[in-house]
């Protein structure tokens, strides 16, 4: 039986995330998962709410999030990333459904992003498949 998952995508780095989404789709097929919902959000701060809404759906067995939190000139990205990841972990426990973390960063430098796009996208889906 095919299980359905959702994917939350951060639109701040839309070109890179669209590429990650294609790799996530390929990986989903390899694991027999169907992507039933794709939700685009403005940035990292909105990811937990979108994940919570997806995991609340009966037909969704798990969710992945794809995004990039770059290193900025302040600690904002680091603080945001820590809060978002902590909340995602809590949502997994509340809903008892897996979430694959495909967020590059926090603190990603421009040269770190490109080589991580495909591995992070695929690993997020593989994590869901393993936990299911």
- pLDDT tens, residue by residue, 3-37: 999 999 999 999 999 999 999 999 999 999 999 99
* Predicted pLDDT at 1: 73
Q: Is residue 125 one of the residues assigned to a domain?
A: yes
Residue 63, judged by CB atoms within 10 A of its CB (0-12, 13-18, 19+), counts as buried
DSSP, collapsed to helix, strand or coil, labels residue 76 as helix
List the beta bridge partners of residue 7: 38, 64
Domain hosting residue 116, numbered range: 3-10+21-131
Q: Is residue 72 one of the residues assigned to a domain?
A: yes
Among 3, 28, 1, 2, CA closest to 102: 28
**Catalytic residue positions?**
76
* Predicted pLDDT at 56: 98
C-beta atoms surrounding 86 within 10 Å: 11
* Predicted pLDDT at 55: 98
Number of structural domains found in the chain: 1
CATH code where residue 39 lies? 3.40.50.960
DSSP, collapsed to helix, strand or coil, labels residue 47 as helix
Res. 76: pLDDT tops 80: no
């Amino acid at each position: 039986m095919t299980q359905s998952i959702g994917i939350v995508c951060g639109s701040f780095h839309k070109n890179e995330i669209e590429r990650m989404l294609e790799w996530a789709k390929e990986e989903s097929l390899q694991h027999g998962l169907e992507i039933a919902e794709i939700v685009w959000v403005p940035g990292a701060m909105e990811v937990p709410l979108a994940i919570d809404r997806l995991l609340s759906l009966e037909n969704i067995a798990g969710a992945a999030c794809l995004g990039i939190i770059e290193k900025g000139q302040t600690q904002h990205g680091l603080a945001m990333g820590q809060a978002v990841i902590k909340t995602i972990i809590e949502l997994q426990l509340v809903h008892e459904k897996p979430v694959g973390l495909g967020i590059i960063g926090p603190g990603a430098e421009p040269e770190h992003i490109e080589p991580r796009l495909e591995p992070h996208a695929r690993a997020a889906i593989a994590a869901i498949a393993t936990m299911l």
